[in-house]
């Protein structure tokens, strides 16, 4: 089953920031259709139930940012 998830990401200011977060999160198995917006600070994507919040937060951290699920 697939669900849409949203996270608020802090520290993003530009397209490079968006790309870094998008690249890390889209690399997680089970994640599809990733959208990142630096202006609003939002990360939105579709994911299988098997994708954990911890995995998403770790991917955002790897990109150099912090996030929380909304």
The CATH number covering residue 40 comes to: 3.30.70.100
Total number of domains in the chain? 1
Start-to-end C-alpha separation, the chain: 20
Question: Mean pLDDT, the chain, as a whole number?
Answer: 96
pLDDT digits (tens, 9 = 90+) for 3-44: 999 999 999 999 999 999 999 999 999 999 999 999 999 999
Global pTM? 0.93
Range of the domain at 13: 2-69
Q: Give the pLDDT band (50/70/90) at residue 50.
A: confident
Instruction: Check whether 48 has a pLDDT greater than 90.
Output: no
Instruction: Check whether 52 has a pLDDT greater than 90.
Output: yes
Pairing mode, if any, of strands 42-48 and 31-37? antiparallel
């Amino acid at each position: 089953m697939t669900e849409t998830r949203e996270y608020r990401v802090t520290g993003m200011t530009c397209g490079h920031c968006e790309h870094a977060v998008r690249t890390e999160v889209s690399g997680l198995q089970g994640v599809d259709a990733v959208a990142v917006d630096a202006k609003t600070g939002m990360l939105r994507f579709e994911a299988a139930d098997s994708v954990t919040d911890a995995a998403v937060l770790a991917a955002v951290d790897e990109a150099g940012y912090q996030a929380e699920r909304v």
